[in-house]
Amino acid sequence: MKCGGFTNDKQPDETSSEILTQIKPKCETEMNAKFTTWDCVSYTTQVVAGTNYLFKVNIGDGKHISVKVFQPLPCNGTELELLSCTAI
């Protein structure tokens, strides 16, 4: 990991599942789609004034999307912010 950069890929865990469950409706709205499959393949993190998460998500039929989410520090709020949701 480079100082200030993203970590190496991490395997899905409880934290990644919880964040992706919360952000799924926003991503569906942004992409104008309903995802019946929504499985985290891997993710990386970057510590900023909170944490940026970059997820690789399996949406079925061999397709994946990249989902970037910002989680603010607890003192600045608790709502997750969807930064981007794009096909890869």
Could you read off the pLDDT tens digit of each residue along the chain, which spans 88 residues? Answer: 566 789 899 999 999 999 999 999 999 999 999 999 999 999 999 999 899 999 999 999 999 999 999 999 988 888 999 999 999 9
User: pTM for this one?
Assistant: 0.91
**In this structure, are residues 22 and 80 in contact, taking their beta carbons and an 8 Å threshold?**
yes
Report how far residue 76's alpha carbon sits from residue 57's, in angstroms, rounded to the nearest whole number: 27
**Structure tokens of 12?**
């899905």
C-alpha distance from residue 85 to each of 8, 27, 59 (Å): 20, 6, 12
CA angle 41, 44, 59 (to 5 degrees): 30
Residue-range domains of the chain with CATH: 14-87 (3.10.450)
